[in-house]
Each structure stands twice: as structure tokens, then as C-alpha cells.
Structure 1
Amino acid sequence: MADLITAEQMRNLETQEISAGRVTGEELMERAGQGVVDAIFARWPNLADIPGRVAVYCGPGNNGGDGYVVARLLHRLGWQVAVWSICDPHHLKGDARANWVKWTGILGRVSILDGKAERIFPRFWDEPPDLIIDAIFGTGLTRPLTWEIEQPISDIQMYKDRRMVQPPTVAIDVPSGLCADSGRNMGNRCFYDLTVTFHAAKPGHFLAEGPEICGSLSVVDIGLPQPKISAPVPATVIRQITNAQGVAKQAGHKFDHGHALVLTGGAGRTGAARLAARGTQRVGAGLVTLGVPPAAQFEVAAQITSAMLIRVGDDAALSEILNDRRINALCLGPGLGLNARATDLIGAALQGARATVLDADALTLLARDEGMRGKLHDACVLTPHAGEFARLFPDLADALTGTPQTGPAVSKVDVTRRAARRANCVVLFKGPDTVIAAPDGRAAIHAAVYERAAPWLATAGAGDVLAGLIAGLLARGLSPFEAACSAAWLHVQCALNFGPGLIAEDLPETLPTVLRDLGA
């Protein structure tokens, strides 16, 4: 896992290092500019071989200062450089002004954008630029873009769309208009090919619209130490399973690896629970039992072999079954139904403190019953998608989907943390930017984006398998937070290993290869 850092934490870290005399602002800006140039040439080696034409768009702050450094470095390498500013550069301050002065000493020319579309591109070239760089606003943006700023950025995208050969577009730190902490788009209609950020990635690179706008992401080391942050970082981004050792089986009896009970719905509605159970088995639970209503008993029995089956007619039957303390993890919700039996089963399952995954129908029933939500405990994991989250936590969902007026905008990390505290349990808020949060404030992002994009997971039943993976890891003894984080990673890794054509049934069957690659 890799720690993310907020815009404020990044500013504080830079200020701390500069105040201590360990580095100057100009040195950091020079390193950042060099890092951008190196990242561009690493992504497009052909641009390093033959200098071309580059248009650099600079803003009024340090992001603009980085742009002036990049302009100077590319000019030194033989590039034809046109610099455009959204403000009068004479008003620049500090390190940004110092680098503007250096640039003007070389070429002496900066064109000022005035919001008119006909002024957006250099007219002194016969051919279009080979590279476009956005250094207008970085992590410091706290408000939506005004029309005068948004229009030129939109014109860049329109320009690209009209060209048969589209010049690469690079954003420095974050695309202008993207909230670095939330990934919310505050007015940018441009899509970039590469975003180069410094020291550490920001939450907004992985959340909401961030990945789509950023294109690909490069993190550049500019020589800062790891921050010493007293408050929890906003989240960690999960790059690898959180506890590979936790899923590695050692010698022992099947009950040494846990016994999970997965409850099904009625006849014709058992497929989702069977998918969950298969995931639970494949992730290593020693024993998995399907709890089935009498009417669905023959349907389930005809479909399973290694899983066990037990009749669960009502909540009284479930309570009796749960007297067996060897059953240490429960999974309820996939295909469970929305009837009185399902409601009663959830109530019985929440008695005591067993590790419990609540998914799908169980979440809908929880949203309808405030008293039942009060029975949630810290061994539970809720796994809502966006619609279920909105039913469970309507005020938090409204805050997340509302149009941001100031920054940093409300993020998925923010609302998932609040939901976990309110529910007193772990919440895994599903999506391409899955966020997992615990009541104590810990949070992690598992984003299926960039090199981990797995669009094949948009298939019926994939979420049921995820619920089963969590239940299996709970049965194996992982904590709710750790089980949810690890299951999210395994779920995506299975999809990546399988590739296009994936259906939900393929996920559990791909898991042995993933675990073998982990050395588990």
C-alpha cells in the first residue's frame, strides 16, 4: 500500500522543509520541472529524439511557476516554446515570479490569454504544437473554474478532437479544475494523456472523475522526506494484498481455517448466494455451509458438491444453528429477498458479535429499519454500491453528489469514513474507486483504474463474489478492515488475470492462480 497525501499536507511539508533551510522553493520548483520533462520523455521517447513545438499554459501561482521551468528546460533542449498565461505575469510572486523572470530572460515573450477562442493557440507556427502542457492550476485550487479560464481549457480539448494526429496533453500536479483531495471536477472539460504529480499521489488522482481526466499518472520524487502526519492520512491506495500471509494456509484441520455460513433466498433466487459461497471457499475458508429455506433445498443441493447445506426456515432455526461457535463468519444479502423472513434472519445474525458481511438485499432491509441498523457492531462489513449507499446514508450521498462550490470538495473517502462511524462497522463503498473505511478513521482506496482498470467487473454477480471473499477472509481470522481491503484487491486481480469475457463464475476459479502468484 502507498500513502496518499492531501493538498494541505503537501503544502505543509514543503513549507516545513523550506523553513528548516533544507531546500529552497526555487530548488523544489526546478526539481519538479525536471521531473515533468523526464516523465514526458519516458512516456513518449520519440519526443526526446526530435525537438518539436510545445504550448505551455501557465497560471498565477506555483503551478504556473513549474510551467515556466518546463518551458525553459524544453527550450534548452531545442524545442520551440510558446508560453501562455491566464494572468499578467508581472503580478506573480515568489518562486513563480523568479522562474517567469528566468524565462523572459531567455525568450522574452509570454502571451496573455483573454478568454477569446481565437487567441488560444500560437499563430506564429505554421503547424500545430507537438505537445500541450497545462500548468494553470494545481493542488491549490479551491473554487470552480470561471468561464474565462474554463473556456480556453475546453478549447484545448476541442482542438485535439479536430486533429487527426492529436498532440499529447500533460497536466502538472493535477489537471486544472480537478480537486486534488476528492477527484471532483470543478469545471475542466479536457481529458489529458499524462498527469505528473510530485512526492506522492493525491486522493483526487484515484477518486471520482480524477482517473478519467488524468489519463495516466506519474509520481515524481522531488527529494522531500516522508511526511510526519499526526492525523490519519486521507487514505492509502491498495497496490497489493494487505496480508498475503493471512491467506496462506498452514497445516491444520479444516476448522482451523474457519467455518462460514452463507444464507440464500428462496427457490429461483439462490444463484447469488452460491456465487458468494464459491468465493468464500476459494479464498480458503475451511468449511462453507449454505443456509437454505426448505423450498430451495433441492435446487441448491443439485448445484453444490464441496459446500455443505443446512435448512434455515426462519430466524429461530438460524439462532439454533448459531449455537455452534465453530461458525465464525456469516454472509447475508445476495439473493436473500426483501420479505419478513429475510428481515428476521438479519436480526438473528446480528445477535452476538460474529463477523458478518451484509450485502445486496440485506443493505436494502437495513436502510428500511433504523432499529436494525442500531444492532450493527464492529465485526460487521457493509458492502454498498452507490444506490445502496444512498438508501443507507441519504444525507452523505447528497453531499457527495452535490455540485462542489468550493474546494476541497466532499470526497468518497470523507463520506465513507462518516458512514463507518455512524454504522459502527467497516463500510466498503463499491465502484471503480472502491473506498473502505473503519469506525476508527482508517481508510483505504482500492481503485480499479490506470494499470489496474478492470472494466470486465461490470457483470452480474461480481459483487456477490466480493461479499463471499470478504466472508472467507473473516472466517480465516482477518480483521473486518483487513478482510475488506484484501478482498477488494483479490477481486480486481482475478478480473485482471482473466481478462475480457469475464463472468462472475470465473472470479472464484481464477483465484487459485492469483493466490499461487502471491506465494500463498
Structure 2
Amino acid sequence: MLKVLSVEQMRRVDELTTYQYGIPSLLLMENAGRSVVETIKTKFNDKIRDKRFLVLCGRGNNGGDGAVVARILWMQGAKVKAFLFGRVEDAKGDAAVNFNILRRLNGSKAPLFGSVLEFHEASNVNNVLDELEKSDVVIDSLFGTGISRPIEGDLANLLLSLKNWKSENTHSRVVISADIPSGLNADKSEPIGPAVNADITVTFTAPKLACVYPPCSNLCGELHVANIGTPASLIQSVDSRIFVTEKRDVQEWIKETEVTSDSYKKKRGRVLIIAGSENYVGAAALAANACFEAGAGMVTSAVPRAIRDAVSSRLLNEVILRDIEDQDIFSGEFDLVAIGCGLSAGLQTQELVKQVVDRRMTPILLDAEALNALSPFALKGDDEMPLILTPHIGEFKRLMGRDIRDRISDASEFAIKHRVLLVLKGERSLIAKPDGTIVINPTGDAGISRAGAGDTLAGILSAFVAQTLSTKGKSIDNIFQALLAGLYIAGKAAQIAANQISRRFLLPSEVTKYLVDASKEFEVR
């Protein structure tokens, strides 16, 4: 998992990198600029000599990063014009060093390539607007992580002009932000004012909250986290409980739960899914089918007897069908019980959910109506038989018994208070652990924001958790890892499906068909 750092934590990490390890801050700035150039070269397949770059620099360290980008691009043959909003004399420290280099190089031809570097001190934005129309790529190095107030005046007008420039030709014009899009407060997920809408953001050392949680993260485009020389031990020493799932987390889960030569159905996860009602017949089938398609070894769907035939016609042949009314189903051997999808509201469901939770012999995944039946939530989970809650924001509000003030902090506090594993579904879903750790899932697509998406996801997560429980045991950490991997791959599958079908016409039930494609890059070979 990638640790998310605040502005103050990032400042301290940079200081310690210099003081404890002797790595000069000027070298960190050089590495930051170089990492942006490497990302640019990857974006354009190393073909940068035919691109016209406009580098917009503020007077601070973020502008200094931009000065490094301009110099390196020029040295590698690109056509570069850099503008500093202010005077070189007003800059300080490492930024001033790099601006002075640009000023001395102004008008010079690059060795080998002959491209000419232009550097200007801009007194107002009008100096830049004409150049904007002549550019292919804009490098945003106006304001970094230090901003805490909205951008105003001429620079706000520049951001508007940049937005209009981009909208005129979204395919050939590219905006790349250094560290964070200018105008965003790095510590907030909500915009504080006008901000750059980047195609790519290269953030340094560690992600910041604005880079990874919406709506601000939507302005960052494709996010790259660049290592600029800070030792990993320094980042790990920072006391932050917010993380982002990374590919390595999924790779580890797939490796640890791989299908071995001695695998058989009972060793690949056994799940009981209690779901469905007369008004929501499809929910039971969606959850059970998704669970089996996501890799569970055995799936039993328990539904009300009145809808048994209707559900049966929708189930995969491999799914076992039972009646909820048959009490002996609860004595079966399962690794996980999932309950709630499509159940009817009312006293009968409340009693059923309470019975399942109180008498549980396995971990329980609670979704949909099972969550409403227990709202406001007053239970406390335990490490022996963990409770997994998967609410959307409306259900979470009912569980909390109040309005949501801040999704991240509220989710973390809820998991601590009730000792549960919480998956708070949304544009960027959150996974909270009983110790307060919270992880942001970076995958997903709005194309699946339709009825049935929650049932499908409940089935997928149940499959991942059951596979973990059958191979690794039922610790909180093991289940947490399974939830990280399941949510990541489910989101990745949704992205692939939306790209191949259509966001508008994508059915949630179609997502499971793309789980194979989503997991291919992680498979053990």
C-alpha cells in the first residue's frame, strides 16, 4: 500500500532526507524535474522533439521543479518556452538557482539538437496567452502543495484560458502537473477554488490526499508517484493511517491464494449467500453468480421458498440452491456467510439478520438490507468471527445514525468503534480496518452505477474473502488483504468493461466477464 502524506508530513520528510542522509534539496529538485520528463517521454514514446512545450512556473519550489523540466526537455531536443510569473530576484533557494540557470541559457541552442530555449519573466498573463495557442503540451508548475487559498486575479484567468485551450482540442493538447495541479489544497479532497485540470500528474515521493480522493483526484488525470531519492524507511516512519491500494497488494494476494495441484472445491472457498425477496429476485442470482465467477469453490444461494423457481432459472448451473426456511442450512460448512442482497425490509428480515449474526460460526459479510436491519449500528465485531460491512453512503449514514461529516475520518472512526471491517462504496471506495487504517481503492468506473452493482460487488468480495479464509485463515489482516484485492480487481474489470462496451449501456452483471482480463497482469506464472 502507498502511504498518503499531508503537506506538513511531506515537508518533514524532505527535511530529513537532507539532514539525515545528506541528500541536498537541490538534488531532490533535479530528480523531481527529471521524473516529470521521464513521464513525458513515456507518454509520447520518446518522441518529444516535434512537440512544443510551454512551461508555466511560479516563484516557489514547484516553479523550480518546472525550471528543471524546461532545461532537461530542451537538452533532449524539445522546443521549450518557459515563463516565470514574477522576477528571478524574487525567488529563493533552490528555485532561484534553477531560474538563474534558465536566464543564462535563454536563447541558447541545445548541444546535438540545436533547439533554442526561451525563458521569460512574465509581468502579466497576456505575455503567455499568445504562446498558449502555439503549444502542444503545457507543464503546470505554478503552485505546489503549499497553497491554502484560492487562486485569484490574473492567474485565475490564466487557469480559465488553459481550460479553454485544452477543451478546443482534447486529444492533441496535453496538460501535465508537477506534484499537484495548481489551485488544489493538497490536504483536501474538495477544491478550494479554480484549479488546473491535468491529463497527467507526477507527484513526488508519496501521494497526497487531493491526488487520490475525489472530487479533487478527478483533476489529476493519470497519477504517477515518482521516487526522487527519499529512502523508503523515512516514508514508512511517518504516522499516517491513510493509504492507496497498489498493484503489489493484488499480486501478493493472488500469489498467496493461487490454485495449486492439490486444490479442490472445498479448498477454494465455500460461501453461503442469503438473499432475495419477491421484489428483488435478481439480486440473489447476481450475488451468487458473481461469487462463483470470481473464483469461489462452492456457492450456496439461500432464498425464500416463494421465489425459489424464479431464482433457479437465473442461477449458474454450478450454484447450489436452498430455501431460507430450512434451518439446517445454517449448520453447513462454510468459510463465509454473506447476507442482505435483495432481502425485503421488515421485522422478519431484522430477526433473520440478528439470528445469523448472533449465531455465526464464520465471518459474516453484511450488505444492503442486512445493514438497514442493524441500523443504527450498535454491535461490536471480534477477531474470531469478523464482521464485514459493505454500505453505500446512504446505508452508512443510517448505520452511523447521523449525517456524514467526512467520509475518510468517519469510516475510520466507525471501524475502530465497532471493531469491524468496513467497505464504504463510492466513486473511490474506502476500506477501513479496526485499527483505524483506511485504504482508498483507485480503480472503478461510473458505468456500473446502476441497479445490481452492489449485489455483484458483494458476490465478488465474498469470493475473494472465502478464498483467503480457506487458504490462509480468518484473521482480520487476511480478510483485509482479500478486500483490497477484490475491490481493486472488480474496479479494474469495470474499467475494462466500460471501455469495451460503453459506460452508458454497461450492465453490472457483465463486469464478472472481465475479471479474467483484470487479473491477468497479476497472475503467477
TM-score, normalization: structure 2? Answer: 0.82
1:298-447 pair list within 5 angstroms: 298-304=309-315, 305-313=317-325, 321-322=329-330, 324=331, 326-353=333-360, 354-366=362-374, 369-370=375-376, 372-377=377-382, 379-393=386-400, 397-400=404-407, 412=408, 414-447=409-442
The Cα offsets for residues 114-147 of structure 1, whole Å up to 9 and x where unpaired, read as xxxx626255x69633332211222233344345
Amino acid at match of 1:500: I
8 Å contact from structure 2 (residues 65, 141) kept in 1: yes
8 Å contact from structure 1 (residues 238, 445) kept in 2: no
The Cα offsets for residues 399-437 of structure 1, whole Å up to 9 and x where unpaired, read as 35xxxxxxxxxxx4x343223223321111223422211
In structure 1, C-alpha distance between the alignment counterparts of 2:401 and 2:97, rounded to whole Å = 49
In the superposition, relative to structure 1, how do residues 220 and 258 fare at CA in structure 2: closer, same or farther (>3 Å)? Answer: closer
In the superposition, relative to structure 1, how do residues 7 and 340 fare at CA in structure 2: closer, same or farther (>3 Å)? Answer: same
User: Which is bigger in relative contact order (C-alpha 8 A, separation at least 6)?
Assistant: 1
8 Å contact from structure 2 (residues 3, 240) kept in 1: no
The Cα offsets for residues 263-307 of structure 1, whole Å up to 9 and x where unpaired, read as 123224221122111222233434322222232233234444432
Amino acid at match of 1:134: D
8 Å contact from structure 1 (residues 356, 471) kept in 2: no
SS at match of 2:311: helix
Work out which of the residue numbers 133, 139, 143 in structure 1 matches 2:139.
133
Asked if residue 95 in structure 1 is aligned to residue 94 in structure 2, the reply is yes
Q: How high is the sequence identity, in percent, across the aligned residues?
A: 27
* 2:30 match: 30
1:14-413 pair list within 5 angstroms: 14-20=14-20, 22-45=22-45, 48-50=48-50, 52=52, 54-76=53-75, 77=77, 79-85=79-85, 87=86, 89-107=88-106, 109-113=120-124, 119=126, 121-123=128-130, 128-147=134-153, 149-162=155-168, 167-228=173-234, 229-230=236-237, 231-232=239-240, 234-239=242-247, 240-250=250-260, 251=262, 254-304=265-315, 305-313=317-325, 321-322=329-330, 324=331, 326-353=333-360, 354-366=362-374, 369-370=375-376, 372-377=377-382, 379-393=386-400, 397-400=404-407, 412=408
In the superposition, relative to structure 1, how do residues 245 and 308 fare at CA in structure 2: closer, same or farther (>3 Å)? Answer: same
In structure 2, C-alpha distance between the alignment counterparts of 1:473 and 1:34, rounded to whole Å = 40
* 1:409 match: none
SS at match of 2:232: coil
Unaligned residue ranges in structure 1 (runs of 5+): 401-411
In structure 2, C-alpha distance between the alignment counterparts of 1:469 and 1:423, rounded to whole Å = 24
8 Å contact from structure 1 (residues 134, 176) kept in 2: yes
* 2:449 match: 458
Unaligned residue ranges in structure 2 (runs of 5+): 107-118
In structure 1, C-alpha distance between the alignment counterparts of 2:514 and 2:243, rounded to whole Å = 28
Amino acid at match of 1:427: L
The Cα offsets for residues 177-203 of structure 1, whole Å up to 9 and x where unpaired, read as 223345432223432222222234434
TM-score, normalization: structure 1? Answer: 0.83
8 Å contact from structure 1 (residues 290, 307) kept in 2: yes
SS at match of 2:404: helix
In the superposition, relative to structure 1, how do residues 45 and 274 fare at CA in structure 2: closer, same or farther (>3 Å)? Answer: closer
In structure 1, C-alpha distance between the alignment counterparts of 2:152 and 2:33, rounded to whole Å = 26
In structure 2, C-alpha distance between the alignment counterparts of 1:126 and 1:463, rounded to whole Å = 45
Amino acid at match of 1:421: I
Amino acid at match of 1:362: A
8 Å contact from structure 1 (residues 258, 326) kept in 2: no
8 Å contact from structure 1 (residues 254, 287) kept in 2: yes
**CA drift at 1:393:** 3.5
8 Å contact from structure 2 (residues 51, 136) kept in 1: no
8 Å contact from structure 1 (residues 238, 444) kept in 2: no
SS at match of 2:508: coil
**CA drift at 1:110:** 0.8
8 Å contact from structure 2 (residues 284, 311) kept in 1: no
* 2:110 match: none
8 Å contact from structure 1 (residues 255, 326) kept in 2: no
* 1:403 match: none
Amino acid at match of 1:397: I
Amino acid at match of 2:37: V
**CA drift at 1:211:** 4.0
Amino acid at match of 1:472: A
**CA drift at 1:51:** 6.1
In the superposition, relative to structure 1, how do residues 59 and 416 fare at CA in structure 2: closer, same or farther (>3 Å)? Answer: farther
In structure 1, C-alpha distance between the alignment counterparts of 2:17 and 2:43, rounded to whole Å = 30
In structure 2, C-alpha distance between the alignment counterparts of 1:120 and 1:180, rounded to whole Å = 29
In the superposition, relative to structure 1, how do residues 2 and 190 fare at CA in structure 2: closer, same or farther (>3 Å)? Answer: closer
SS at match of 1:134: strand
**CA drift at 1:396:** 6.6
Please, which moves more after superposition, 479-488 or 75-84?
A: 75-84
In structure 1, C-alpha distance between the alignment counterparts of 2:43 and 2:21, rounded to whole Å = 34
In structure 1, C-alpha distance between the alignment counterparts of 2:224 and 2:438, rounded to whole Å = 23
Amino acid at match of 1:20: Q
In structure 1, C-alpha distance between the alignment counterparts of 2:291 and 2:120, rounded to whole Å = 64
**CA drift at 1:343:** 1.3
SS at match of 1:49: coil
In the superposition, relative to structure 1, how do residues 82 and 308 fare at CA in structure 2: closer, same or farther (>3 Å)? Answer: closer
8 Å contact from structure 2 (residues 270, 296) kept in 1: yes
**CA drift at 1:377:** 4.6
